Amino acid sequence: MARRSVGILAIQGDIEAHARALARVEADAVAVRHAEDLEGICALILPGGESTTISKGLERQGLYEPLEAFAKAGRPILGTCAGAVLLAREVENHPVRSLGLLDVVAVRNAYGTQVDSFAEVADSKLENLRCVFIRAPRLRRPGPEVLVLARVDGWPVFVRQGKILATTFHPELGDDPRIHGLLLELAG
């Protein structure tokens, strides 16, 4: 089987770490900065960073509508940390424009500042899923179509709605390729 190409939104975030994670699941990373960069990719990653900065970049590059069309065409998207915020139907504190593709409410920086970063093993069917949280959001009020795949301290940290995946942590910062692998599985 030929290697597939997965886009990584390249406005902000640890693009290289996601590219390394994709290489572990035998996929090629493609930087997405413009709408035409979405052509030819089978899936997309919205990485962490700062959601306000990324939102402004999406606006500046005219990417909101192309990203919505990408999802409506049935292509999978993984949002990590700030990327999860951008997927949410609503952002509760310090609202930013989101894509509204995931039926959850995101609370930005719910775990505190950079100094409050931590790692934890999640309560999940994915055994020993180690989660690295850096200024992480919290996901609240998941809708009826949202599957909670992992929790930490009772809070959803990994969710799925159709072909939309979101983590409040950074799966790219560990050696565990399962979440990036699931993204590829959803691409077919």
The catalytically annotated residue of 18, 81, 131, 180 is 81
Neighbours of 182 (CB within 10 A): 19
DSSP codes joined into one string, 79-133? EETHHHHHHEEEE-SS-------EEEEEETTTT-SGGG-EEEE-EESSTT-EEEE
Annotation marks residue 180 as catalytic: no
Pairing of strands 27-32, 4-9: parallel
The catalytically annotated residue of 18, 50, 131, 172 is 172
Annotation marks residue 18 as catalytic: no
Q: How far apart are the first and last CA of the chain?
A: 12
Annotation marks residue 81 as catalytic: yes
Tokens 């290489």 correspond to what residue?
23
Annotated catalytic residues are 81, 170, 172
